[in-house]
């Protein structure tokens, strides 16, 4: 599994943050962004990204298990 730090601000990433980055940007990404930097990058509010994480989790997406 990809792990590590946000490539923008260096914050350690949670599994959820890695998962939503892969869903929104690039499934094969080696480097990911934290949810705050992703929010700025794609102009989607953090609250909306968190709702998406919950949605994907309910759908059984393996990125969020």
- What are the residues binding Zn ion (CB under 5 A)? 6, 8-9, 11, 34, 37
Q: Which of 11, 22 has the CB closer to Zn ion?
A: 11
Are 29 and 2 within 8 A, CB to CB?
yes
CA atoms within 13 A on the CB side of 46: 7
Residue 49 CB, shortest distance to Zn ion, in Å, is 12
Q: Is 52 left (phi over 0), alpha (psi -120 to 50) or beta?
A: alpha
Residue 33 CB, shortest distance to Zn ion, in Å, is 5
Residue 39 CB, shortest distance to Zn ion, in Å, is 9
Q: Which of 7, 57 has the CB closer to Zn ion?
A: 7
């Amino acid at each position: 599994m990809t792990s590590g730090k946000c490539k923008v601000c260096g914050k350690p990433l949670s599994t959820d943050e890695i998962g939503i980055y892969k869903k929104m940007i690039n499934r094969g990404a080696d480097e990911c962004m934290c949810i705050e930097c992703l929010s700025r990058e794609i102009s989607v509010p953090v609250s909306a990204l968190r709702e998406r994480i919950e949605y994907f989790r309910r759908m059984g997406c393996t990125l969020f298990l």
